[in-house]
Structure 1
Amino acid sequence: MLLSSTSTGIKLDGNGYTDIVIAISSKVPQENRLIDKIKEMVTEGSLYLYDALDKKVYFKEATILVPPHWNGTNFTKARTESFEKAKIRIDNANPAYCNEPYTNQYGECGAEGEYTHFTPEYLLNDIFIQHYGSRVQLNPLEVKNFTRTDTGESFVVTTSGTLPNFPPNRITDLSAEIQEDTVLLNWTAPGEDLDQGTAKSYEIRWSFDLDMLRFNFSNGHAVNTTAISPQKAGSVEQHSFNLNITIQNGTTLFFAIQSKDKLNATSETSNIAQASKIIPGPKPISSQEINLIVIEMVTEGSFYLYDALDEKVYFREVTILVPPEWNGTDFTRARTESFGRAKIRIDNANPFYGVEPYTNLYGECGTEGEYIHFTPEYLLNDDLIELYGARGRVFVHEWAHVRWGVYDEYNGKQPFYHSDGQIEATRCSKDIIGQFREVTAERFLRPCLIDPQTSLYTGNCTFFPDRNQITNSSIMYFPSLDPGPRILQLQQAATHFLRNIFEDQARVGIVTFSTFASTLSPLTTIDSDTTRENLIKLLPKAADGWTNMCLGLSQGLQVLRGDNGNVLGDELIFLTDGQATDDIRSCAPIAIESGAIIHTLAFGNRADPVLIEMSDKTGGIFLLASDDVTSNQLMDAFASLILSTGDYTKEPVQLESAGKTTSDWFNGTVSVDQTVGNKTSFVIIYGIGVVELNPPKPPVSVEPLEVENFTRTATGESFVVTLSGTTPPNFPPNRITDLSAEIQEDTVLLSWTAPGEDLDQGTVISISVILSSSNKYFKRTV
């Protein structure tokens, strides 16, 4: 089956495919029954296509191109049609396929095929139906006449005939608006048959419940439509009406339409339109900090999107539209941008969601959402990262909603199901491990209870994914699910270092870096346990974004200069995964010449050689620590970096370090002799399998808000800030998707659109061309 494409010449006229050329090879002898069989196959196929694609499209018009030696008094002369251009060809059997129908198709899934091949024997001999199945899996239908006119070259036979009664098209652009107590609906008129003609009538219903209209349209409240006279297909329809209720502020209503033709054939239910009488309160307080956080969120999200979609796409350019009262010297005047058109909006909290990010998504799966909503509090309060996850990942999660119409892959209405005799949580993927717990009113955890009627856990039960596990998970499941245990191991090791290793009176600062770098604490003298605990609270709780090592080094050296203006003899502990996304070689010489002693802990199994050189040349220590969940290497590495003040009696001594997997007691023996033992402590770190409750979500208001009347006008007073972040790490050239080949005598001519040095930007260095006599070679190796 071949669908519409501008490169094929096939067109989609309304819901019907036209300009389909079915060409008969000049090697085929004249057989008029062949034309009848083609007509029968296409007409039956049209019905099958219409049914298989949910009554969306059908074959409206096809042209049969016959050889020039065929005689006929009712053929018309061909224009630009030719056998080589035809997407459907009738020709003698290919020895590799015999009479089996096939399509020349060499691209990946979704790439257009070259042509479909049928043999005259297949079309004329009904015995092949028993072997290959019905030509269209439907019973034969009566086919109308063709008109033919004589020509001197190739010939054209155009099908005519009527398909059975089709219902009106589904309305897909219904919109709703509430103006005081009046509802205003707008939509594009469907036709009598799909998108042709004029529908007979409309049925409009509304509900407080979105799912009711989506799944039980007839149960919604009916709207009087006797005054509506449907217009011709493609016209703009409008209808305003008052409901028999008082629409309070804070009310949200949902609307849908079905249309009927003269035979009362009913269309599918339209998209669900929403109208709310919720007026935003005062605008967010202006803050330049919001701009910086938005830039960081989108930049980190770009890296996450690029990685999640197999290095195919990223966010290249973003514009931030700020309110007119915000002051800034680097703002440019807005052109056509406005808050109402923005796909990503930052506004005060919606009382139904609180500070939680959400996307207005009312269409079916695959239908683009209306907009993403973030609150200033969500962006400015870092404590919410622990609750909702890293902002860059949350942004990509919501982007999938608004851009691709993807739904969440968890089910609040049916959170559990039976599988192989066990209770499973609805999740994607099933490989995500976790525990089932019930949260009490006091926020204690207890085992879940089983409902005797369903044999599933009760509605108070929650599945808690283990926050530290290495597994593939969908973006649309839990966006805050960490990709591995590294951040937890870092927190535990750094906590041990700050609490037990650093001597009293030592001065400590903390810097974090990813896409950007920031100071979590300036140089602070450790003079009490309270100081140690305050520093521990500042340790990062989430890891995301790029690994810009140069920014981290620069920020760390800047903090060290805070006491006397230089870093001579100061010690810097540089913890990284060892794989820079910037050019570490460009900044390492500056760090080496600074005079600081740089210790490097590379976390994982790979590290840039420059890191080893940097530690060696500054008199520091380079250590490589495994990120395996049972490994103590990171803890031991921190413990080995004893920053001495000269009093060895106060320096900590590590007596034992062990790691193991256990579900019960952890048993072991440690020997302590008379030379050590002061302030002996046992530190236990853990990995997978711990249930931790996030802090409770901020309460949301369910009371209607007191709002006043308002009007909206375009002022032209908004401004634009253009994001110009660092280009993501080196991207490969784009995949070539339009390669074509032609043989002229003994010469092969290839044509394609050039990719770029980085995706579709710049110029590639070289191109490799591979030749094979079998397409199977490319499917296996390329």
Structure 2
Amino acid sequence: MGLFRGLVSLLVLFLLQRSNTSLVRLNDNGYEDLVIAIDPGVPEDGKLIEQLKDMVTTASTYLFEATQKRLFFKNVSILIPKNWEGSPEYKRPKHESYEQADVRVAAPALPGRDEPYTRQFTECGEKAEYIHFTPDFVLGKKQNEYGPSGRLFVHEWAHLRWGVFDEYNEEKPFYNSTSKKIEATRCSTGITGKNRVYKCQGGSCTENLCKINSTTKLYGKDCQFFPNKVQTEKASIMFMQSIDSVLEFCNAENHNQEAPSLQNIKCNFRSTWEVISNSEDFKNTTPMAAPPPPPVFSLLRISERILCLVLDKSGSMSSSTRLDRMNQAAKYFLLQTVENGSWVGMVHFDSAASVKSELIQIKSDSEKNKLLGSLPTVALGGTSICSGITTAFQVIKKLNPQIDGSEIVLLTDGEDSTTGRCTDAVKQSGAIIHLIALGPDAEKAVIQMNSQVDGIRGLCYHECSKCFYSHCKIYSSSKYSIQ
């Protein structure tokens, strides 16, 4: 039983804890399921949502051109904090959470610094964690510093999605070129400008020529490169996307391999375009003949978790102590995993289903113990998984009439050949089904429901621990391997 307890703990954790993995997927050249989350600490402001929409819409067009008509943003979810006022157009999240958001809108990491950034501690060509924007940046208050927000978003997206790096270097802003000239670190060198010391004090500013340091043979630390306003060079987005003429990433023709840019340092002197064009996104797409449609936005408001346990107490559950194992998994979930504030109900089923607990909000151990007292003790009768799911929907509807985004934790041995009868209802509901299947005959139910319904997360457990993974990998959508 010790081995089983360990397996149950891992199964419940894998199934029910919220993932911090991005949901983004590429489908027909378009990025789907991009999640932008607003931090709960951000004051409510409807303009923020509209500006996010404008940013992504303009970014999609810019990205499409920059990737040679290959990639664009297809649909985007904006995750709104629970403490913001509700609206009829807001829906409940399904899989989306702040922790897995690709873009986070939150206060500056350092007070007073509204600098956009991508949390990137990965190697060249590897996806980063997330993009961070501040509310003032999204609202356009920092455009003089960073340029149009849509262009800046594409710059950060390249960090996040393709693992490329900046083509400037704040630590090494200048270098001595082979032509024996001091050059600004940039790509491409076709970007023209002047090197100046620019200082402002008391409302007046002065501009002076840069002085060369006798030791480094480079300009001093107070010297900066200021690009000319009018440019003809198209590269590069990873240097300064705010320049009007810049529409491309540096490629083999204009890549400046001499510069000590972060891109050269991190990517072994490969151009950004070489890294991007070797990504899976490019290998799986071809240029589009027509411009893409604008992104479709969904507004999701975080709210309390609504969840119903659906427990199999049919006669077959008496085999191999499956009923005890199921109750152990349910107990672990209630005591260790479910968050306070969540609404939890319970349904039992055999050949029919019955409500053992309407939705109650978990505030303390008192509510958890009440639910634990409703766990089944006897296994008798036939098996109707659809009856259990349908009854759970009825329980959920009393608090969430639309059902979407609510969750069902289904624990069953799956010995039911009629599960296909409710797959359409599950698919249309928008609910998330967590399926923990016990026993070798659970394969039928898992295959039937996993293959036909989006939103089902499945893991299985087989009596023989040695063949646990060999059975699970046949029909489970999970990639977890438990040794």
What TM-score, normalized by structure 2, do the two folds share? Answer: 0.42
What TM-score, normalized by structure 1, do the two folds share? Answer: 0.26
Structure whose residues are more often helix by fraction: 2
Larger relative contact order (CA 8 Å, sep ≥ 6): 2
Bigger Cα Rg: 1
